[in-house]
Structure 1
Amino acid sequence: MIVNPSAFTILCFGDSNTFGQRSEERGRWPADTRWTGQLQAILGDGYSVIEEGLGGRTTDLDDPERNDRNGRIYFQPCLRSHSPLDMVVIMLGTNDLKTRFDRGPEDIAAALDGYIDNIDQTAWTRTGEVPITLLVSPIHLDATKPGFAESSSEYNADSVERSRNLSASIRGVADKRNVLFLDAATVARPGHDGIHLSRASHASLSRLIADEIRLNSQPSASN
């Protein structure tokens, strides 16, 4: 926990790829391997990174198999509990692509538009302004990975194709709402299971996001 009271505070809200689920086996990468932990290390203690990842989290869909994965229900109280915030980073959409939801990229992007409403209406900075929003389009599903067939019974070929079209739809929402946008798939890939970030991709994603944060922030000095 960063105890610098003036630190530029960043909430990272996402699914298993923010939680740090391993792609090669069960379990979670340690904090210094997860992209959020590496982001904190890159930025230093003039920044405070808050990790809010949950496996299976959707944008705003109720999952009949797990009743606590609708991200939108938790998002607003999450904003309240962590404010004041300077930036909110959201990387969601992969779980919406599961076959039981049959959801397309435009609907996923529209759900993320609602998250921007929550930030505008609920979150605040120390000076009473609205935090910066950064939408991050998630990595592509990859059916060519050796563990995909075994690990991804919830996804099919349509899911893979739709994952490749998410970036354009999410960028459209970001442009419309005048918020920041990054495409994780430009620097990051899934590992063995074709779903979760490879170990190396945690590092490359952290650098991508760190660069964007630095461009849009003023770090504070450590006390």
Structure 2
Amino acid sequence: MPTILTFGDSNTHGTQPMRSRSSDLPRHARRWPVILGEELGWDVVEEGLPGRTFAFPDAEMGPHMDGRIGLFIALESHGPIDALTLMLGTNDLKAQFGASPGEIAQAAGFHLDVALSDEMQDRHGGFEPFLILPPKPFAAGCLAEIYEGAAEKAQAVQDAIRAQADARDVAVFDANSVVSVSDIDGVHLDTSSHETLGRAVAEFIVAEIVEA
């Protein structure tokens, strides 16, 4: 049975929309990687970490939020894998980082280069990376201050990230084509969106495999 590694942040982890920053709600049981595995009939390795960025250690949440470190750990901890999904970029839009679209996209390119490197490809016997553009966040609810200005920057960031993937011939799925974030906190997905996203990503991956 093929294995897919889903590498991402809180929306891959399955964090529910938050009404307060101290929310202790359990994560979604039927988060999108679970649905993805059901639809594909594949084993899924879930590597979703709330707060993870493409490239920024977080002064509040910790240095391990830097996804560049996490990706090496994930790829060297699990396997062999047959496919990898990368869905990051939401937390990079936090106001505290002040990151430009170019800086975020360059970090996304680093992740793709790691995945495509001879070292990682050989380690797993070859695998296909897929980049997922996350649903665009906006300032709302208890996270409004943290994501101030995110909505205005999000499209430029995603365009720049897509260009990095295109330059490396990596297939891109835009989650914004099927889901949007909750109005409760402007960042996280509700239950129905996880169901929709899991099915849509599965269809996308099957189509890419058939085309290949």
Same fold, judged at TM 0.5 (above): yes
After the TM superposition, which of the residue ranges 107-116 and 10-19 deviates more from structure 2?
A: 107-116
Distance 1:9 1:123 in 2: 15
> What secondary structure does 1:90 align onto?
strand
**Residue 181 (structure 2) pairs with residue 190 (structure 1):** yes
Q: Tell me if 1:177 matches 2:175.
A: no
Residues 55 and 66 of structure 2 are in contact (CA less than 8 Å); yes or no, is this contact kept in structure 1?
yes
The superposition leaves residues 35-91 of structure 1 with CA deviations (integer Å, 9 ceiling, x where unpaired) of 0111111122xx111110011111111111122211111211210111211111000
Paired residues in the alignment total 203
Match of 1:118 among 108, 114, 118: 114
- What are structure 1's unaligned runs of at least 5 residues? 1-6, 219-223
1:34 equivalent to 2:31? Answer yes
Report the equivalent of 1:216.
208
- Residue of structure 1 aligned with 2:54, choices 25, 34, 59: 59
Deviation for aligned residue 1:126: 8.2
By how many angstroms is 1:120 displaced?
2.2
Letter in 2 for 1:112: A
List per-residue Cα deviations over 1:90-141 (Å, max 9, x = no partner): 0001111111101122221110110112112342378833x11111111112
Instruction: Confirm or deny that 1:93 pairs with 2:89.
Output: yes
Secondary structure of 1:13's counterpart equals strand
Q: In the alignment, residue 21 of structure 1 is paired with which amino acid?
A: T
Q: Partners of 1:180 and 1:186 in 2: how far apart? A: 15
Q: 1:205 aligns with which of 194, 197, 209?
A: 197
Q: TM-score, normalised by structure 1?
A: 0.84
Q: Distance in 1 between matches of 2:99 and 2:169?
A: 25
Q: 2:79 touches 2:124 (CA, 8 Å); kept in 1?
A: no
Secondary structure, in 3 states, of the residue corresponding to 1:181?
strand
More off after superposition, 118-127 vs 182-191: 118-127
Once the two structures are aligned, what percentage of the paired residues are identical?
Answer: 36
- Out of 135, 142, 146, which is 1:150 matched to? 142
Paired amino acid for 1:196: H
Whether 1:102 aligns to 2:98 is yes
Query: Which residue, out of 149, 159, 175, partners 1:168?
Result: 159
Long gaps (5+) in structure 2? none
SS of the residue 2:203 aligns to: helix
How far the C-alpha of 1:12 sits from its partner, in A, is 0.5
Whole-angstrom CA distance in 1 between matches of 2:195 and 2:157: 22
User: What is residue 3 of structure 1 aligned with on the other side?
Assistant: none
Q: Hey, what does 1:128 align to over in structure 2?
A: 125
Q: CA RMSD in A?
A: 1.9
Pick closer, same or farther for the CA change 1:127–1:57 going to 2, 3 Å.
Answer: closer
Could you say if the C-alpha distance between residues 127 and 66 of structure 1 is closer, same or farther in structure 2, counting changes exceeding 3 Å? closer
Q: Is residue 7–residue 86 contact of structure 2 (8 Å, CA) maintained in 1? A: yes
Q: Compute the TM-score of the two structures, normalised by the length of structure 2.
A: 0.88
